[in-house]
Structure 1
Amino acid sequence: MTTAGRPPDIAITGIGLLTPAGQGVEQNWEQILAGRPAASRDPALAGQPIDFSCRVPDFDPDRELGRQLAWRSDRFVQLAVVAARDAVDDAKLDRTSWNGSRVGVVLGNSLGGAATLELQHRTLLTEGPAEVSPLTVPMTMVNMVAGAVSIDCRATGPSMVIGTACASGANAIGAAMELLRTGRCDVVLAGGVESALTPACMNALHRMGALSTRRDDPAAASRPFDVDRDGFVAAEGAGVLVLERAEDATARGAFRYAHLAGFGAASDSHHITAPDPLGRGMEQALRTALADAGTDPGEVAYVNAHGTSTPLNDSAEAAVLGRVLGEGTCVSSTKGVTGHTLAAAGAIEAAYTALAVAYGQVPPTANLTRLDPRVTLDVVAGAARSQPVPVAVSTSLGFGGHNAALVLKAAA
């Protein structure tokens, strides 16, 4: 299970993506490389103080899942099940015939079935207790997304949900790596999902001061590392990766987008929503991930940063990256395109990082027109950059002081 005393590398052999940039690898990568922002007016938020968001376009759950499964599932579960199916298909595995006892599911989520909960609460108040759906609890439970994916994919190994806010998806991938490294599973479906673009959630985030208020130009609202950034644009999405030990993937002739070589996690122990201004938790997570991967900081060719477009996050994160990896480190944030998918962000961005490694292209940071002078990194903007990416890092931070970092390497 190890080589020269090191844990085995973990191969990414399948990717499933449903994001504001589209469905599937091809649509997502094309829009991410083009740097086309997805934010737009949201009819579901009409009349609210913040009336724009980033939604998954053209998603028809009845078409994708069938009427019965779609009807009894909240949107966050719908997105995750489709992303998991796409990832398994992309990996050229057969979920109807594999040994399900050796397949695990680890997904990140924070807000569960927020849309269902709001709808049923409104039903309670307007129509009475007898009209509340008996499916309310299973449709809103956070863990149900892992349960639904395991049922759909006939995966009878461990299934669990990691809830660490916007670091959930990255932490889920880290937990999945350990299931593979220890031999508990042979395949793990790992990632994250969030769909909570509801009036209550959006107004709560707005009242916190977390969201951009650029209502006059939603497409330009998410602007990571820009001096004029004023908050993030809330988004929904799902990203699921098929993970296998690299030796197993090689043995079956699978295409490997990249290898997951290292993972680190740490806590700020500072504030419930604000990051540590010195970035100590993020630094600890990053250094742990690099050590886990046996990677020198100077080897990192690209960082897909958390880069939320909030004043506090971007400056603190940039300082950590410069301190650990060196000023001038090549960095971009894909949230300029997708907005902030919350618990799904770490998984979606790990997928984008894997694509950068596989295809030697660094995506640009959309809407970055004037770099914050406090950011001394090489932030890619304007156009994608073609360059070899033998080693890359994806970073994630979350409310509660959660920090996570993943190290990816090119498949040999």
Structure 2
Amino acid sequence: MINQKILDAIREQDCFKLLNLLLVHTKLPDDFDLIDEHTGKSLLVLIQESSINFSEQCPVEYAWGEVNVTPLQSVFIAVQRGDAPDFESLRYILMLGANVNHPINNQGDTILHKLMSLPSHPLALKELIRAGGDIFKKNNQGKTPLDLADEITSKYLLETYNQNNPKHNAAIKIQRQWRSRNKLENKSVALTHESLPLFPKRPLRSNPPDVKKMKLWIEKHKEEDKKTAEEVSHSIQHITFEHFLFGLKMAVKKFNLYLHSLPEDKRNYVLLVDSRKDKSGPWVTKLAQQFLLFPPSVIINTADPGKFIPTMDLNHIVLFDDASYSGNLLYKLQDSYYTSFLAKYRKYMNLQFHLIVPFTTERARERFKEFPTLLHTQETIPSFKVKNTFFKGETATYFDHKIPVDLSSIECIENGKLITGESSGVVFVEPMIPPYKL
């Protein structure tokens, strides 16, 4: 039976009301087949026969004020704020007729143009291109989405576009052959070491902020602090495991491309593994195994580099981590390498140090420049910039696989503290156990 509120929204031609009700009160796409007992028509047919235009901009009231957005834009706003389950909702809006190539602002940008300024998300890109998204459509400045994309994203855009464009069958065949070759090469890389897990576990579920509890957390503040608390809530960034895994894949791909550019006899590398099994380093290293094209010559533990017997020609030393906020931990590991490892093995003074860290802050990247290190990273973690708060954290970002400690991320994410430092009694991000500690 179709929810009466949904039928009312269709009759009222209220696009955003309908969209919100669909996301909250239905199990899409199955519920599109529900039949209205009065008309005998399915929910999908009722929507398609209505005059609702899912490409038009409409005024929408957000916490920061009223803005004109299309339903397609609202999905990205909602996902960033944790109001919608995930980018799966994109598919349903596209099914309902949203025009991917419709301009969303006075600059002539489409949703694909806008997406280039947001963190990369492969599912979103794929859905938009499948729906006819034009990566060559120019805005008023003559820029295409492809022009605005970084190197890695542009390659992904072209590959996805070619896969979904029948005019590019030859390109598709070539790309499939390339991917098949890579898959075969990937299977040959098996990272085995006492410090690495046999099978890296995944987060049990996605863990976005509870929007109702977040609003309650804001209300717990004094009246003069509520506006600042609201700013804090808008700054919080939740990164899903799928988003993280894509970032890791892209960071490893950059490392692969670097090694591939070298002669074969210059690709040998040592893989450093963090000795602390309760930290994310070993887990991330094992996850990265599926993306590596070149296996390490040797794997050693960061706690005991003395076990390494240098009997082979080596050119690089590599260390993985999931994210870096202040850069302090990875800085210390590099410092230890340069002061202890190289002091013992002077013949490796010219080893190129590589950090593969998919998510990093600008501060961390600046810190790493103190050493001759090559950083392979994918995405910048925004710094926390809201003023007049008690919080000392570097960022307002957390992941499905972990909530960083309070010096890395603001405390309210972990324990719901007020911006003044007192307890609110409201926790809007559910506590979780990192998969590498299970």
User: TM-score band, normalised by the shorter chain?
Assistant: under 0.3
Bigger radius of gyration: 2
The TM-score, its normalising length taken from structure 1, stands at 0.26
Q: Select the structure that is richer in helix.
A: 2
State the structure with bigger RCO (CA 8 A, min sep 6), 1 or 2. 1
The TM-score, its normalising length taken from structure 2, stands at 0.25
